[in-house]
Structure 1
Amino acid sequence: MKNLKCLRLLCFLLAVCAVTTSSAQELPKPTRFMVAMDDGVKLATDVFLPDGESPENTSKKFPVILARTPYGKEPGPLLAVNLGKQGYAVVIQDMRGRFDSEGNDSIVFFNDGDGEVHDGHDTLEWLAEQSWCDGNVVTWGGSAGGVTQTMMAPNAPAVLKAQHVLVAFSDMYSQAAYQGGVWRKEMLDGWLPGHNFDPRSYKEFRAHPKRGEFWEPGNAEKGAAQVQAPGVYWGGWYDIFLQGTINSFVTIHNGGGEGARGKCRLILGPWAHGTFKELKYPENSASPGPVDDAVRFFNHHAKGEQNGVSEDKPVHYYVMGDTEDESAPGNFWRTGDNWPPAADNTPYYFHVDGKLNPTAPEGDDSREYAYDPTNPVPTNGGQNLRLPKGPRDQREMENRDDVLVFSTGPLAEPVEVSGPVTAKLYVSSDCPDTDFTVKLCDVYPDGRSMLVTDGIMRARYRNSFETHEFMVPGQVYEIEVDLWATSIIFNKGHEIRVSVSSSNDPRFEPNPNTGADHFEEGDPFKVAHNRIYLSKDEPSHIVLPIFTEAK
């Protein structure tokens, strides 16, 4: 998460602020405050005022940009140089238990929202009381620094006027810890210990595989109606928190408080939590234009500037396309009034001969494969944090015996898919529990099967993430797999491909097929014989949001 934070910080300073800083310029030094929270714990908070003013004796007042982070306050001086020229005070704070702050971060991010401890709220109240604050605070940050914003928003006092949230989740359980009810192994096994978070976070997250009361402090969506500060929600099609970015916008723009409702912005580009190299999108993919300018958004909401922000379309998303054929459709920005765009949600059915098309099957077919959790399908690309990410070639995985592949054949005309993607599977197994994975790929004419998006679902949570229902061997169940969302034009001559299996390791922790919550080295396991039904009565399929300009 830290690498992306640094990347977007650089973009924010150089592209968004459009300010140059001499390499010889001396960076300002902060005034350090130890700000007491309601429970008495003090958080290290660095303050930088414009023009070298001191917060201890200035008579001036400024709007404030606040950033709260678990990664240290090093960016503060550079932020202050650039944003000070825009007339903003910059405040950067170590989260509870991190670096120079007191307390502990026993459950990371749970202290930032509206629980018993609410550090975001308390920090905003402290800022409102400072003589140098003009009563207008905005927040900015990416990844973990974006999560602190989403968590604070529902419980924020009136001093908060706007937020610029980059690549952040809005619900920790479903978007960060247990996507589809499955532990996000690649991300959490590396990130939590790698940044020396309190070990209790990892232990408690692992101990709570079901949604329930434990996860409520990490769910900002439930408080969307209380949010009064509009936000820009910025994310990528291959980002680890794509769905969180979308959900933040949808819940607050459509159902937020009066101050935020109808005033938010959603920006979705061909980006990941870091960089990828396998497909190179055109230079226009870097930004949708002025709507991406955080300072412009802040100036409107914190300073009252009439600078065009109120006329911006709420939604800007990049429609991906063939990256090699310059004449191919796609690779442009589209605007909209809301998300998702109007599209025809079209079932593409899986057929026993490997075909994929909108025609429902007429027979009574099915296909079976054996899933061995000690030999899982390896991860290659997708919405990863540490591993290679983004669109990568899936042919090696598709050639495995435990992967079922369905393809349209070369398309006679381009097909655009823009919006949420889901798969409905009819399945059975000889085990009490197992997982089902679905990948959507764009097959180039040279045979490369480039990942577009993917998802997973643990069978026991097919009806509710709050309780588990084990499978009866041989019984057929309907399972829905959420592949989140995308926007892409499959070019003429390309193929749309879907693959189905039961593992994607280490992106997701393999299911031992025994009913156990987790699968660690030495644990017992079973080989599952999983069947996908492709019949008239049980027609497994993927639902693609087919977009046409006429919509």
Structure 2
Amino acid sequence: MKKILMVSACALALSQHAWARQAMGTIAADMPTDFHVADASFDYTRRDVMIPMRDGVKLHTVILVPKDAHNAGMLMTRTPYNAAHMASLGSSNHMPSVLPGYDNMPDVITAGGYIRVLQDIRGKYGSEGQFVMNRPMRGPLNGTAVDESTDTWDTIEWLVHNVPESNGKVGILGVSYDGYTAITALFHPHPALKVSVPMNPMVDGWMGDDWFHNGAFREEMLPYIYNQGATRKNTAQWWSNAYDSYTLFLNGVSAGAVGKSRGMEQIGFFRQILAHPAYDSWWQVQALDRLLPKEGLKVPTMLVHSLWDQEDNYGAVALYDALRKQPAARSNLWMAMGPWNHGGEIHTASTLGPVELHSDTGLYFRKHVLTPFLAHYLKDDATPLPARVTAYRSGENEWESMESLPPPECDQHCVTLHLQSNHGLGFGKPAANSGQLSYVSDPDHPVPYVPRPVVSKGQPDSEWRWWLATDQRNAAARPDVLALTSDVLKKPFTVTGEPLMHLTAATTGTDGDFVVKLIDVYPDEVAEQPAMGGYQLMISGNILRGRYRKSFEHPEPVPENTKQIYPVRLPMVNHTFLPGHRIMIQIQSSWFPLYDRNPQSYVDNIMIAPKEAYKPATISVDIAGSWLEIHGGTKPAL
């Protein structure tokens, strides 16, 4: 027994000694210094590399190469949205399952045998350098030697020399911000860049993309600026003390005050927003639809536009209009547009909000338009090209090919829809003494852009993705919204292009906003989809800040009680109003909190307007002096 006790004591001493050694840091680590994935069964090879730019900054890049790739084209996306995450959205040894999500389109990219390249832009996630929102091209706002175009050039130069499985041909594509970088790649393009597909791209942030629309600030974009601009890896997230963002922004008074309450003055882009509320040279010299025509279009490019894009419904069409004016550019220019929300073309798209489309329009676009377009330029075959313009016509739910889109300016194919007495619409001119229609716009009770509660984008139950297709009956029922309706159509009526509202109105204030919406009113009964009975589907809508009615660059007060003309350009439409439906126009003076409130009394900078500046105003719309110009066919029988 004594021997056993001695052995036990010895073992205890050794155990204590071992514990002491562990406590001193000598225990072996469970985690290897460099873990190697057992990827022998994978059908792709993943390479994470840091590609050097001309100024020494290195950009994190993920390259996914199919195992059987040989002489394959490369498809690149340059993004602020975390390349590593975009390349690891599935847990699988099969490449399509790893790339199922945003921008990756396995039915196009992996099915096409392409090498996938994903890169963090400067200052975001794994890349070095400093982030600048929509980094301006080298020039007045960028005195450095680098911009997104040089970073693209340097990346392609590295790829063609370091990816032996490729054929040396590169394409670039992306949605939204990634669409912006797909456009910047077209400035002084690398010879190996053979094709570009900017989808729903950011082009001009003041005229009609993310930040402003005709001078009205998109207040719901403040969380994006906060999340994207505060930290490299989006670790600082927007916070709110109200479920209903209508309440949050109403209590916050102005967009500037709300931003400052969250410390956003630390973010450079927010400071620029506050400093440049008008369309001054700061905005003009970085607008891509102004810059790219000067550069010229040297690379085959397909612009992709969503007809119900809730974020960037300006850029693709504006850039198309600017480029097609140049004969040299037209040979490299294509356009596709469909019944999608922002980025809807890369997903299943068989519905438009609640509207049934009876086919997957996203799949059609990817299979019949995008796939052959990419293959024609990135593969060594003679895949036929799609039509110059491929457009979906809602209402009749059909795809059609065009040689070009209608011009923004009205021509012999235009028809005019006139306001009528008794809240009517018609194709005949009203009498000169038809009078006016009035409403009171109260900044303390602005018109919500969706029924309350307004849940911000990215949050559960948010209607943000499909707000443009939400039923407009709640708005039509408000006393501060004019709803003008045609008689029931007896024949189909198709409109294509960018409608222009000539609105003549007077206000008792010295400033004001004017929102115009073109709406398809469904029959009271829809047998195949009863819930759509009487539905008011917005086909297009836009806002104009009254101070910019004459000049976007030089605002001026609105004279009180004096008729003024407010030209409101609506986004692109391609729609057929069917027999049994009616055409509606809604006019209002707030669209909140999608856009910040107009005080309706003139202040130098609405972004920082004080609470006492917000005052009710009576708006009087002149019936005879207001009409909508639209590209259309024969006037329908009413």
TM-score, length of structure 1 as denominator length: 0.83
Check conservation: 2:148, 2:184, Cα contact below 8 A. Answer: no
Structure 1 residue 486 displacement after superposition: 0.9
Residue 44 of structure 1 is matched in structure 2 by 60
Corresponding residue number in structure 2 for 1:131: 161
**Within 2, Cα distance between the matches of 1:237 and 1:192?**
24
For 2:181 and 2:40, how far apart are their aligned partners in 1?
Answer: 33
Query: What does 1:203-352 correspond to in 2, within 5 Å?
Result: 203-216=271-284, 218-225=286-293, 226-239=296-309, 240-255=311-326, 258=328, 261-273=330-342, 277-283=353-359, 285-288=361-364, 292-309=368-385, 312-321=386-395, 330-340=396-406, 344-352=413-421
Among candidates 360, 366, 373, match of residue 436 of structure 2: 366
- SS at the partner of 2:377? helix
Match of 2:628 among 533, 542, 545: 542
Q: 1:484 aligns to what SS in structure 2?
A: coil
Q: 1: distance between equivalents of 2:275 and 2:188?
A: 27
What displacement does 1:471 show? 1.2
Match of 1:478 in 2: 565
8 A Cα contact 1:137 1:302, kept in partner? yes
Q: Which amino acid in structure 2 is aligned with residue 398 of structure 1?
A: A
1:353-399 Cα offsets, whole Å, 9 max, x none, are 11111111213311222111121111029xx9662423222122112
- Give the number of the structure whose alpha-carbon radius of gyration is greater: 2
Structure-1 separation of matches of 2:602 and 2:230: 29
Structure 1: tracts of 5 or more residues without a match: 1-22, 54-59, 322-329
Deviations 1:92-151 (A, max 9, x none): 11011110111222x311256774431332332342254246542210211221111123
**Preserved CA contact (<8 Å) 1:393 1:450:** yes
Kindly indicate whether the alpha-carbon contact (under 8 Å) linking 2:274 and 2:607 is maintained by their aligned counterparts in 1: no
TM-score (norm 2): 0.72
Match of 2:118? 92
- Look up the match of 1:172: 205
CA RMSD after TM alignment? 3.0
The one-letter amino acid paired with 1:34 is M
Corresponding position: 1:109 with 2:134? yes
**In structure 2, C-alpha distance between the alignment counterparts of 1:462 and 1:24, rounded to whole Å:** 64
Q: Distance in 1 between matches of 2:457 and 2:578?
A: 29
Query: Aligned partners of 1:143 and 1:27: how far apart in 2?
Result: 30
CA distance, structure 2, for counterparts of residue 478 and residue 25 of structure 1: 68
The answer to which structure has the higher strand fraction is: 1
Q: Which moved more, 1:91-100 or 1:299-308?
A: 299-308
User: How far does residue 319 in structure 1 lie from its aligned partner after superposition?
Assistant: 0.9
Structure 1 range deviating more: 195-204 or 424-433: 195-204
Distance 1:528 1:204 in 2: 30
The residue that corresponds to 1:13 in the other structure is: none
* Alpha-carbon distance between aligned partners in 2 of 1:84 and 1:406, rounded to the nearest angstrom: 50
Aligned twin of 2:216: 182
User: Which residue of structure 2 lines up, in the alignment, with residue 325 of structure 1?
Assistant: none
Matches of 1:209 and 1:27, distance apart in 2: 51
Q: Deviations over 1:7-53 (max 9, x none)?
A: xxxxxxxxxxxxxxxx9963745333323334433221223344388
Q: Is the 8 A contact 1:49 1:84 kept in 2?
A: no
Q: Aligned letter for 2:302?
A: V
The percentage of aligned residue pairs carrying the same residue is 24
Corresponding residue to 1:32 among 48, 60, 63: 48
Q: Distance in 2 between matches of 1:444 and 1:64?
A: 46
- In structure 2, give the amino acid aligned to 1:340: P
SS in 1 for 2:566: strand
The residue number in structure 2 matching 1:200 is 268
What is the SS of the residue equivalent to 1:474?
coil
Runs of 5+ consecutive residues of structure 2 not aligned to the other structure:
1-38, 89-94, 100-105, 232-266, 459-463, 525-533
- Partners of 2:205 and 2:606 in 1: how far apart? 18
Q: Give the deviation of 1:423 after TM superposition.
A: 0.6
Instruction: State which of 620, 623, 631 in structure 2 corresponds to 1:531.
Output: 620
Distance 1:132 1:294, change over 3 A: farther
Closer, same or farther in 2 for the Cα pair 1:376/1:50, shift >3 Å? same
Please point out which of 84, 87, 95 is paired with 1:76: 87
SS of 2:572's equivalent in the other structure is strand
